A and B are shown apart, each in its own frame.
Chain A
Amino acid sequence: MAKSLGPVKRKFSPWTDPSAVPFIRFENVTKRFGTFTAVNDLTLDIYEREFFSLLGPSGCGKTTLMRMLAGFEEPTSGRILLQGKDISGVPPYRRPTNMMFQSYALFPHMSVEKNIAFGLEQDNLPKGEISARVEEMLKLVKLDQFAKRKPAQLSGGQRQRVALARSLAKRPKVLLLDEPLGALDKKLREETQFELMDIQHTLGLTFLIVTHDQEEAMTVSDRIAVMDKGIIMQVATPAEIYEAPSSRYVADFIGDINILEGTISKTEAALGAPGAIHIDSDGIAVKVEQECQAVQGDKVAFAVRPEKVRISPEQPADTSVNAVYGEVWDIGYLGDFSVFLVRTADGRIVRAAQANVSRLVDRPITFGDMVWLTWSADAGLVLTR
């Protein structure tokens, strides 16, 4: 069966256009529950037709932020604007947003088609139009044969599709997805991610998704907001978040990364200009080619992704910078990749990932081997926060 590969990624970046008007705007929004501050003075713009992710650990305030947009919670202070209009005080049933719930929240006493028709019936649309729209939605999520079934007679994946169809049926201006794929197994989740992107592209809607799964956020989003303790740590495209995290928190939260704490020993360029930065991290000398945001003597962190670190049993020509010597402490075999945990003389662990390009079962590097880890000057980055 030919599988849909999702839409071709379009050139879409309204956030770089200063004249673009945001579709949704959170303006200094704060939400407190008793003494607990779930969302803290948060400002965020989301653009029309954007697939936007709120990513963070549980309790970071991402779900609260979404529930405020849906109308289930009111901000303690601040404003939420939808198409330039303040929507505070508007009850959920009058908001042009629809939500797909984490638990799906399907009505157990109604059939699949009744569930999907529910929202349309509230708008008092003519019967013919409702049934046409229901049929269209059933086709969209490939559940045509299941129209008469009750939710209890469906599998988890099918229920998830009904929930999606129900939330899409009213063609909301914004679709809110609260951990939509959390209950699905990995294979089905990946398939559904591409389908979601397909649907979002076809219908031209704005999607706001809450997730704690970074891979999911990376796959589907135009932009990601990484949240922690009620504030936004970084808002950027998936590639920017991964390759240029703005802080130790974001770097550590997204993917695997080596972080070496150290002090800047020398910079070869003026502040704000590109050039080489030298960092001393307890004897490991690091050289980074980067636009410099710090000066000599600053405490910083050097961060480099494991897949950008080369591992070799042979000593490289230049061991003065960006080279670490150590013992292979542990190996994680992931099939496509192997991750080597290398222990330096002073006990620090540096990780290197290597694609398993050959089908050798016995790897040339194994436990206890002494190896060299090296990386190029543009492989990593300096984090000041």
Chain B
Amino acid sequence: MHKILIIGNPNVGKSTLFNSLTKSSEHTGNFHGVTVEEKHKIIKYKNEEYDFYDLPGMYSLNSFSFEEEVARNFALKFDAERIMLVDANSLRKNLYLCLQFLELNIDFKILVNNYDYFKKYSNTLDIKKLNDKLKVDCQFVNAKKIKIKDLILKNDEKSSHFHNFQKNSLINGTYLSKYIEIIKNKYNLDEKTIIFALNGIFDNLRKEQIDFIQSFYPELILDRYNYIDNILKDVLSVQKDFVYGLGKADKIILKPIITTLGFLFCFFASIYLIFFLIGPKISDGLNYIINFILIKPFINFLYSITSNVWLIEFFSNGVFSSILTVISFLPQIILLFLFLTILEDSGLISRMAYVFDDFLSIFGLNGKAIYIMLLGLGCNTVSSLATRNMSEKNLRIKTILLNPYISCIARLPIYVIIASAFFGSRAYFIVTGLYLLGLLIALILGFILNKTILKSDNNTLLLEFPPLRPIDIKHVLLVGRDNAIDTVKRIFFIVLGVGIVVWILSHTAFNLNYTSIITDSVLFYFADKISFLFAPIGLNSAGIVCGLIVGVMAKELLVSTFSISNNVSTIAGLIASLGVTTNVIHFNTATAISFLVFTLLYCPCVSNLAVIKKEIGAFWMWFAILSQFSIAYLMSFVIYNTLIHNIFYSLIVLFVIILILTAIIYIIKKIRTKKVICMFCNKNCKDKK
């Protein structure tokens, strides 16, 4: 099998190339750092298998962020053929990485993308000369249209010399020799170690040795660029200087007020159109079709073959109602993902990152947080992973911790249902208010964390601007299709699975017999035992507590649990049932608002918690759980008690709770400052000198 790695600078079109070659539709975007971990796909061509790997982008082997480190380690240590994708419009910068690979004597093939754009300015690139100068196969490609037959792959299994290093004959004797000699004279290291260290890869070197080698970096970078310039002067013919990235439209887009208002208008208008105007009509149609084609005939069939009430109830209220209420929101979910894809594809996100950078830096974040927040509108788990393109540790921890306050798509159905049930025509404003409340709390918390336990040494936004591109309708539709498939999979594997468990537990009595009275069930019994904890926020109903517990698994489960508990299978039925006090789950205006606020804030879902633990550790996962639960409880308490008592009562209790939280933050700060790494043993030892 041929294993092929696609490597290169960020935003040169690696994922687009990967998608074209493998006929897949991996997430791509016109923004730095869309790919944060390696992805691969095997395809067959002429009876041979090709395993393509798409890696995160990197400017240099001397990694600056976690995603670059992932890409570097994979690109160097994995035995495979390598494709280096470069952009013709920023060839000088792209060749820097190529040169580092040449220094390490690692074979690769260069594919030059975006040459059509380069030619627009009457500039030319002599690819044959580039080939001769670098002694590397070079080829023009269009990453969007390339097919596997267009690639001429070498059948060289030992193309990586990472483990079997030999000096590159091309680079040998050039600028690198002087550094090798100086370092060798001082520390008597072997050539492989020195060359790797000069590229930011330190294997068993002491700090003093690393510092010494790194002191040559500024001069070495200059030498590398001189070498590149010598190559390019014979290869490139640039008739007219141009700036790759900035377009005429940027004169308008980069005006902060226009961008801010434009984005807010587009976002909230999209929410209105998607969730309150067009979406419900498509949902009703979908609901009717599924009911008419699938559910009704199946239930009628069941009635014709059995009179077992348990079985009929299980399918009609356990299986179908759990998926139908969630699948009704599928059109809205796809439409929102299409909106986000258009933003990503066009290059507008980089502009927004720049425009919002100053504002976000007040709260200890940087402009990249805008991208994370936008991804978070789709799925908080995906956006937590996307923080890998941040270079500073505390900045990354903060962004991951604040990310769950942005309402993901899974929370929207429950917002829309409860807001529609209790606020009628004002439902849209309630949903919008929830988004803004989540954002406001995220910013305030970011400010507090930045001033206390997570101070950022530098929250520099160093971002390359991609050019604005017209929307690729085909790509947008492919993303829509993929999101539909993902959502349906999620509904079937998680919502349906947990929905069945919830239905069984809510219809099984203590004697293990079927019960149609939900208050006699095992689930209700246990939820009732802990529901007193939620009395201060008005949510002391066993049914609501059940919903909140399963909601930690995935927020979509709230809707399915409610529909199972109230024995309804349509959105309209669920909305109508929530105000009826005889139903298991019911609200009044105060408890509905309290519930919405609590749902917005109370806990990241299980998959996001797993990512938080993996990315920043168990300590911060527990911090996320406890802080979010405390804030959710606090906010719901204040809102609920203000609605049913008065604001003074709420404020006194709020003051006491804030005092307790301040004490907790103070204790955490003390614990964290004690962890000082010993400079001698490089561990947190007790004998610090």
A binds B: no
